[in-house]
Amino acid sequence: MKTLISIAWRNIWRNRLRSIVVVISIVLGLWAGMFIMGMSIGMNNQRMDGAIDSTIAHLQIHHPEFLIDFNKKYTLEDSDRITDQLDHLSEIEAYSKRLILPAMVASVKGNYGVQLLGIDSESDKRVVDIHQRLVSGTYFEKFKRNPIVIGQKLADQLGVEVASKIVLTFQDQNNNIISKNFRVEGIFRSPNTSYDLSTVFVKREDIETLTGLEGRSHQIIIRCNSIADVDGVKSVLQTPMDVETWGEVSPELGYAQETMSAFIYVFMGIILLALAFGIINTMLMAILERKKELGMLISIGMNKRRVFVLIVLETLFLTLIALPFGIGCSYLTNWYFSIYGIDLSVVATGLESMGLAAVIYTYLPLEVYLNISLMTFVVSMLSGMIPARRALKINPAEAVKSA
């Protein structure tokens, strides 16, 4: 076996240029493929984290019929018993009660339909991070009477800024129309411009008396200690109300997260398949050039099994040379851009409409590097078998006579 390994190693360097081209193609294929994978996973994670941190939280509790048309009459039943359960779960970091109403917001420049969220500012900012995304103003700290926090996109559409007055119009529990002046205290900018345009925050107490919904809530949003705790918390909560995880509230996010793992390996499989054809073609050319030499080896007693192993070893050596460089380059690239990010400001508007920031940070789990390495090794071995089988078909007598 040592002799076969020595011969195989020398054979791959007999034509240095061709071997180097194959090695470089494998390195570039792995590098590019795993960088794209890191970028894709990073984008998906940022989109998911942005939605969880800013808008939907880890879990939501609401009346089973509330999400059908956001009818204000469907408030939570026995919310005190629910919060008592939440207080006794160590997996829960924080929760917040909300009133949710459809409303119209108007200024001298125009009016827009929005979702009005009545919140307790202290508990809400422990669950979502809107208070950290302010571009101007403060978060319910300055104005005592009817403050409102709105998104940057909505502020631009309304032509308002901090301290401007706007009019909110909504219905009370008896469907009477209520119009009230509010003063803009803060303007936020989340990763999702659609959310910025359609959502406003006010103090819960400012609309409770206006709507007649004192002490009632439409929704409880929950932040767990980690995303891994979400399913466990949902399973132990006992309530007739609907308890939905972030993936159920936003199915497209849950689906993207579930399919991302499969996408990684399908995408990398396509790249490795393309590399396999290059390896096969290169080795077939090498066999045709060495047809006479292989015929002589068989003639002097080398059995076909050894010839088969020899060709497969040559293929594996090419891959084993390229693999550390490909994996190393991709790791360093993904590590660098996981810290400094990829600035895509030129397409920031399009990214924000999809809930993504203008700077993308790559991310690729360490186990993926190991799995891709194993995939590359297996593909290389299979690729080597095709030219190896071709070598077994060589007729020694004819090969020795060939020029």
Q: Are residues 318 and 362 in the same domain?
A: yes
pLDDT of residue 138: 93
- Say yes or no: 200 and 225 in one domain: yes
Q: Is there a single domain that holds both residue 228 and residue 359?
A: no
> Against a cut of 0.85, is the pTM above it?
no
For residue 335, tell me if it sits in a domain. yes
Query: What pLDDT digit, counting tens, does each position of 110-160 carry?
Result: 889 999 999 998 999 999 999 999 999 999 988 888 999 999 999 999 999
Question: In terms of domains, do 219 and 75 share one?
Answer: yes
Asked if residue 158 and residue 296 are part of one domain, the reply reads no
Greatest mean pLDDT among 83-87, 247-251, 262-266, 355-359: 83-87
Q: In terms of domains, do 107 and 157 share one?
A: yes
CA-wise closest residue to 388 among 320, 290, 287:
287
Same domain (yes/no): 109, 226 = yes
Beta bridge partners of 186: 137, 149
Which stretch of 39-48, 96-105, 127-136, 276-285 has the lowest confidence by average pLDDT?
A: 276-285
Q: Within this chain, do residues 128 and 220 fall inside the same structural domain, yes or no?
A: yes
Confidence at residue 400, expressed as pLDDT on a 0 to 100 scale: 60
CA distances from 95 to 92, 202, 248 (A): 8, 17, 18
Same domain, 268 and 389: yes
Does some domain include residue 276?
A: yes
Domain of residue 44, residue span: 2-52+254-401
Residue 248 domain flag: no
- One DSSP character per residue, 299-339 reads HTT--HHHHHHHHHHHHHHHHHHHHHHHHHHHHHHHHHHHH
**Last residue within a domain, chosen from 240, 271, 303:** 240
Task: Find the range with the poorest average confidence among 23-37, 78-92, 378-392.
Answer: 378-392
Q: What is the pLDDT of residues 197-238, one digit of tens each?
A: 999 999 999 898 888 888 889 999 999 998 889 989 888 888
The average pLDDT across 83-105 equals 91
> 261 and 187, same structural domain?
no
In a domain, 392, yes or no: yes
Instruction: Give the model's pLDDT for residue 286.
Output: 73
130 within a domain of the structure (yes/no): yes
Q: What is the number of domains present in the chain?
A: 2
Shared domain check, 193 and 115 = yes
Q: Which parts of 76-180 fold into alpha helices (H)?
A: 79-87, 121-124, 152-158
Of the CA atoms within 13 Å of residue 397, those in its CB half-sphere come to: 0
For residue 354, pLDDT over 70 is answered with: no
* Residue 249: inside a domain: no
Q: Which of 191, 212, 240 is the last residue of a domain?
A: 240
- The DSSP code for 127 is T
- CA–CA separation, 401 and 35 (whole Å): 50
Within a domain: residue 374? yes
For the cut 70, the answer to whether the pLDDT of residue 291 exceeds it is no
Whether residue 19 is contained in a domain is answered as yes
- Residues 32 and 164 both lie in one domain: no
Among 196, 216, 240, the domain boundary falls at: 240
- pLDDT band at 396; cut points 50, 70, 90: low
Predicted pLDDT of residue 274 = 84
